[in-house]
Structure 1
Amino acid sequence: MKLALQILGVVAAVLLTGAMFGTAGWTRPPVRSEQTGFRGTGMVQVQNPRALAVKLDENAAPAPQDPAPPGGDPATQTYQNVKVLTDLSTDQFNRLMVSITEWVAPEQGCAYCHNVENMADDSVYAKTVARSMLRMVRHINADWKNHVGQTGVTCYTCHRGNPVPKGVWHDNPGPPHAQGFAARDGGQNHPAPEAGLTSLNYDPYKDLLGDKDTDQNAIRVAAKTALPTSPSKPLQTTEKTYALMIHMSEGLGVNCTYCHNSRAFSSWEESTPKRVTAWHGIRMVRDINGTYITPLTPVLPEARLGPEGDPPKANCTTCHQGLAKPLNGAQMLKDYPELAGGPMPAAK
């Protein structure tokens, strides 16, 4: 009996070890660690160089189109119904249209946004969407430099050759559940990819990233004093914040100490400068979701809407896609000044 128990113990240990290697996100050595702060505070970023190499290949920026020659007729004189890129020359306009086709709809071509029998026609819904997205890109590059800096964004930053970017989200109605009192689960205890497969809130985006008018302190849940000085926030709010932090960590391919000092997570004085960049990024995402994306709901066909009837919206993964800097920091904007936010110099 004793021998049988020993054998059973060895078998169980082998099975558990195999399960750990195969299912628990275990990474075989070597891994690379980089100290980013004081020793003893856990200020270290740990990366798998093999996985990182794959991620860098997946996030390579495409080669730019040849620059447009200076001068030339304004696009508004050459084409009818130009409503957004009114400050571009015809050559600049054509160059940007070719690039957008490659970035957004390489398989569908011009017909994805245009009625090719009448390019001035507005009957294709994607043309209305594209105009809003062009306004959004220019707005980000001109008004959100605290987040995007001089690197900026282009259509490719999010789309990567797809008509709808891969890293988008819809309002999550949650899993099927009973009606009545039993339906009130507070978004908890349903492990979801949005929260790193934890039992935290399965939809941290709607309340924290979906509305441009969200309370600026909605995410802050940690008290600054030892004893409460005002009514504290409920546990459900705290779990939404933690779920969003998990999303940001996974979306950028970093851990918590990329922005925070683990000695005092809430302290701005002891955080890294990247926390300030992230602060602006959260507000930028709220802005573009509320100002440019949600208003497109009536324009989009039903197939583009989520289960709650909302459009696909942006979060951190939409641009970053697993890297701390989208496209590994490639400065595509310098090759496409047409998207820098304007206006562009007048065409002559």
Structure 2
Amino acid sequence: MIPQRIVKWFILVVIVAAVIFHHSAQAHQQPAPAEPKNLQVFSGLSRPQVMQVMGDWVTALGVDCSYCHQASFEAETPRKQIARQMQREYVAALRHSDGSAIRCQDCHQGRANMLSVQASAYGKSSAGNPALRALRVKLKSAGVVLWRASTKVRFLPKDRFMERMLSFNQALGVNCSYCHKKGDYESETPHKQTARLMMKEFSAKLTKPDGKPASCSDCHQGYARPLARFKSK
């Protein structure tokens, strides 16, 4: 006669084994995750590689998947189109001045709209500094124009200064009033702040594949807001 205690243990072992077998069978029956669809930039990457890139983008922009994707992940959206163009024309086509690759994080730094906060840091003016005001007067009388392309004050002869301003106009497809107040060219404006940021953080730090510095027209191509031309493609 088998002791009752042994019978109970045997039944328990059989039940546990059956549960484990059932879960194992279910795991084998579950289909593998579907491969990503509608890939137009990363078509050569595996699913894990694509998910790694997506994770990097989410972190860089401070958003979640729904920022670009709808319930149907393969469906086309305007932000997907923008992301592809950003990848093609910036991340893949430009380099840091030291030759290293650029990442979304380098510019966005956790913000979907990377200019929303950063540009305000470039809004310094000489209006409240008597020494700089006096310097401006002296330089004007000598035919030299003062401008701020970075955190350092730089001086350009008037002809070169106007040449630089004209290049901005052509690259962005705008006129002087886009950044300047009519009749008061030295006053601060949000677009001036943005221009300083772009000059310091982009033009001065990025290069094209041929090693030449990136210019405003390389990205803007006649649009004040480069994303506008992305949406049209």
TM-score of the aligned structures, taking structure 2 as reference length = 0.45
Structure exhibiting the larger radius of gyration computed from Cα positions? 2
Structure with greater contact order relative to length (CA < 8 Å, sep ≥ 6): 1
In proportion to residue count, which structure has more helix? Answer: 2
